[in-house]
Structure 1
Amino acid sequence: MTLAETSAQPKGGVNKLYFAAWRWHFYAGLYVIPFFIMLAATGLLMLWLAFLDGRDGERYAVTQLDTPIPVSQQAQAAVDTVADGELKTYIAPRAPDLAAVFRVDGADGPIMVAVDPYTGDVLADYARRQGLYDIADNIHGSLLLGVTGDRMIEIAASLGMVLVATGLYIWWPRGEQSWRRALIPTFGRGRSLWKSLHGVVGIWSSIFLLFFLVSGLSWAGVWGEKMMQAWNQFPAEKWGAPLSDQTHASMNGGIKEVPWALELTPMPASGSVAGEAGIDPSNPLTLDTVDRFAREIGFTERYQLSLPQGATGVWTLSHDSMSNDGPNPTADRTVHIDAYSGNILADVRYEDYSPFAKFMAVGIALHMGTMGLWSVLANTVFCLAVIFLSVSAIVLWWKRRPAGVSRLAAPPMPKDMPLWQGAVLVGLAVSMAFPLAGLTLLAVLTLDALILSRAPKLKQMLT
Structure 2
Amino acid sequence: MALSHSSEAAPATRAQAPSQQTTDLNTRTAAQKFYFAAWRWHFYAGLYVIPFMIMLAVTGMMMMLLTQYQGRDGEKIRIEQGETPLRVEAQMEAALAAQPGTIVEWIGPKGDDLATVFRIAPEEGGNRLVAMNPYTGDIVKIWDRRTGWYDWADNMHGSLLIGDTGDRLIEIAAGLSIVLVLTGLYIWWPRGNWTAALIPNLRAKGRALWKSLHAVIGFWMSALLIVFLISGLAWAGIWGGKFVQAWSTFPAQKWDNVPLSDVTHHEALNHGHTNDVPWALEQTLMPESGSAAGLTGVPAQTSVTLESVIILGRHLGMEGRFRVGFPRGDTGVWTINRDSMSSDSTDPFVDRTIHIDQYSGRILADVKYEDYSWAGKSMAVGIPFHMGLMGTWNFILNMAFCLSVIFLSVSGVVMWLKRRPARAGRLAAPPVPAELPFWKGAVVIGLFCSLAFPLVGLTLLAVLAFDLLVLGHIPALKRAFS
User: What's the TM-score once normalised by structure 2's chain length?
Assistant: 0.88
How many Å apart are 1:409 and its aligned residue?
A: 4.3
How many Å apart are 1:279 and its aligned residue?
A: 0.5
In structure 2, the partner of 1:93 is: 109
How many Å apart are 1:59 and its aligned residue?
A: 1.4
Aligned match of 2:217 in 201, 211, 215? Answer: 201
In structure 1, the partner of 2:120 is: 104
Conserved in 2, the CA contact under 8 Å of 1:23 and 1:412?
no
Q: Give the fraction of aligned pairs with identical amino acids, expressed as a percent.
A: 55
In structure 2, the partner of 1:185 is: 200
Q: Which ranges in structure 1 are unaligned for 5 or more consecutive residues?
A: none
What secondary structure sits across from 1:445 in the alignment?
helix
How many Å apart are 1:449 and its aligned residue?
A: 5.4
Conserved in 1, the CA contact under 8 Å of 2:207 and 2:415?
yes
**Paired AA for residue 189 in structure 1:** K
What secondary structure sits across from 2:190 in the alignment?
coil
Q: Which moved more, 1:253-262 or 1:439-448?
A: 439-448
How many Å apart are 1:443 and its aligned residue?
A: 2.2
**Paired AA for residue 131 in structure 1:** G
How many Å apart are 1:448 and its aligned residue?
A: 5.0
Q: Which moved more, 1:421-430 or 1:274-283?
A: 421-430
Q: What are the equivalent positions in structure 2 for 1:106-255 lying under 5 Å apart?
A: 106=122, 107-174=124-191, 177-187=192-202, 188-240=204-256, 241-250=258-267, 251-254=269-272, 255=274
| Shift in CA distance, 290/192, structure 1 to aligned 2, threshold 3 Å | same
**Paired AA for residue 94 in structure 1:** K
- How far does the alpha carbon of each residue in 1:212-268 deviate from its partner, in whole angstroms, 9 at most, with x for none? 111111221111121111111111011121111111112121222211110110111
What secondary structure sits across from 1:221 in the alignment?
coil
- How far does the alpha carbon of each residue in 1:103-162 deviate from its partner, in whole angstroms, 9 at most, with x for none? 101114211111111111111111111111111111111111111111111111111111
How many Å apart are 1:304 and its aligned residue?
A: 0.5
How many Å apart are 1:427 and its aligned residue?
A: 3.6
Q: Which moved more, 1:338-347 or 1:10-19?
A: 10-19
In structure 2, the partner of 1:351 is: 370
Aligned match of 1:48 in 58, 65, 68? Answer: 65
**Paired AA for residue 314 in structure 2:** R
In structure 2, the partner of 1:268 is: 287
| Shift in CA distance, 103/6, structure 1 to aligned 2, threshold 3 Å | farther
What secondary structure sits across from 2:302 in the alignment?
coil
In structure 2, the partner of 1:337 is: 356
Say if 2:438 is the partner of 1:438.
no
| Shift in CA distance, 149/455, structure 1 to aligned 2, threshold 3 Å | farther
Conserved in 2, the CA contact under 8 Å of 1:161 and 1:213?
yes
How many Å apart are 1:82 and its aligned residue?
A: 2.3
Q: Which moved more, 1:73-82 or 1:383-392?
A: 73-82
Mapped to 1, the partners of 2:411 and 2:180 lie a distance apart of 14
Mapped to 2, the partners of 1:197 and 1:37 lie a distance apart of 18
What secondary structure sits across from 1:318 in the alignment?
strand
Say if 2:303 is the partner of 1:284.
yes
**Paired AA for residue 253 in structure 1:** H
In structure 2, the partner of 1:311 is: 330
User: What's the TM-score once normalised by structure 1's chain length?
Assistant: 0.92
Mapped to 2, the partners of 1:172 and 1:433 lie a distance apart of 24
Q: Which moved more, 1:11-20 or 1:295-304?
A: 11-20
**Paired AA for residue 62 in structure 1:** I
| Shift in CA distance, 131/104, structure 1 to aligned 2, threshold 3 Å | same
| Shift in CA distance, 299/39, structure 1 to aligned 2, threshold 3 Å | same
Conserved in 2, the CA contact under 8 Å of 1:19 and 1:412?
no
Conserved in 1, the CA contact under 8 Å of 2:34 and 2:439?
no
In structure 1, the partner of 2:78 is: 61
Mapped to 1, the partners of 2:112 and 2:476 lie a distance apart of 69
Mapped to 2, the partners of 1:310 and 1:413 lie a distance apart of 67
How many Å apart are 1:425 and its aligned residue?
A: 4.5
